[in-house]
Chains A and B, each alone.
Chain A
């Protein structure tokens, strides 16, 4: 059974909280607080979108629009600390909770790393004023403060109308796909949504990402992962299927960077518009990105002494850099299904790769399922399309 449906996306749940959050930035070697940066509701956009996805789209309610979701924020105090204790107000993270149309209360926990971008913003401001050097190492804490009525820090409805376009998804049973899939680095204990990757798309992602490694000096190359979101009619879960990779043509690559140009985006958008008009590819969307880190870790430093004895070398270039994180947050803001595939090398020069996805407000390694092929039957367009 396959069909396409749409609901709105990209708005965000409305947030209720009797608390405001702020990030405190300090130098790594201690000392006074350098900056206090308020956490705004916009800073929580990705976490709120993840709550919408987990509480509704993965619970059999794919048509719930994000802006209709009411979310509540609860601070998570550090062990032994509390709102009334002597070291009150510092917390390890926060929880967001909401009730879905099935009357289930879904609670999602987020660590401090979910607001790391706020700490980076505070650091950039200090660097701009000369109060901090680029190389200075800092750490941050998360502080909770009672929010006054009409607080500017958490604006309950500020994100309700963010121009959300309809979310297209296919309706497709999950079990038959799992039966014929090969799990790659899937941890059965994790709670990530399922991602399927056709072998052809996986191979194309690697080929395009490693393309820049064949020139001298090597440059970064890559592309965008294209596929569909699917809702399982049996389990109510939502999953993603990556079926293609669009090469980032006309992009500017250097050894340590990849910049999409206006022409890059123009071509990608033209292709996606064409796919949206084709019944066979109507549900295709940009699900993520891939690119190569075509250089050796630590500038080619020799492997550790015991490296050869290890089955897996943990020193690799398969990570999301700070620049990657900023780019991903800008491009995939409020899209909790976002995926990244990085192709690089380990310290012995062997080709390795890592797959990343969003979970609990941060992008971290995750697995996927390889399938030999995937094809959705053509989806008829409606007369008004």
Chain B
């Protein structure tokens, strides 16, 4: 369990599950609600040992929407949600 509680947060913690796109990694996590999605993403990428030279975003599996990385995680996710750490990169044909 990852605890990244902000000591001065008055809004508590948010628990949810996070996985990668192929479903080979799955983590129960808990973050301070005030943390930005960007910070949460960085922690999850590190925790899942995903490549850190790729841009990653969090996708709420219920809505399929990508979370706004500049806003707090607590404003965008419900407790018990599941997010997918998704690479923002593409397949391509140019060498």
Contact = CB atoms under 8 A, between A and B. Distances in A.
A81 interface: no
Interface string A283-297: 001100101010100
Given A256-B92, A265-B86, A266-B61, A117 B53 contact: yes
A225 B93 CA distance: 19
A222 B47 CA distance: 30
Interface residues of B, number: 34
Contact of B23 (A117, A158, A263, A286): A286
Interface in B7-42: 18-27
A144 interface: no
A interface, over-half SS:
mixed
Interface in A245-302: 255-260, 262-263, 265-266, 268-269, 272, 285-286, 289, 291, 293, 295
Interface bin, chain A: 35 or more
B89 interface: yes
A367 interface: no
A323 B90 contact: yes
A332 interface: yes
B91 A333 contact: no
Contact of A163 (B22, B48, B56, B87): B48
Given A42-B51, A323-B91, A263 B22 contact: no
A324 B91 contact: yes
A124 B90 contact: no
Nearest to A328: B91
Interface in A55-109: none
Given A220-B92, A331-B21, 10 more contacts: A10-B25, A45-B49, A265-B64, A269-B21, A269-B84, A295-B93, A317-B93, A321-B95, A330-B54, A333-B49
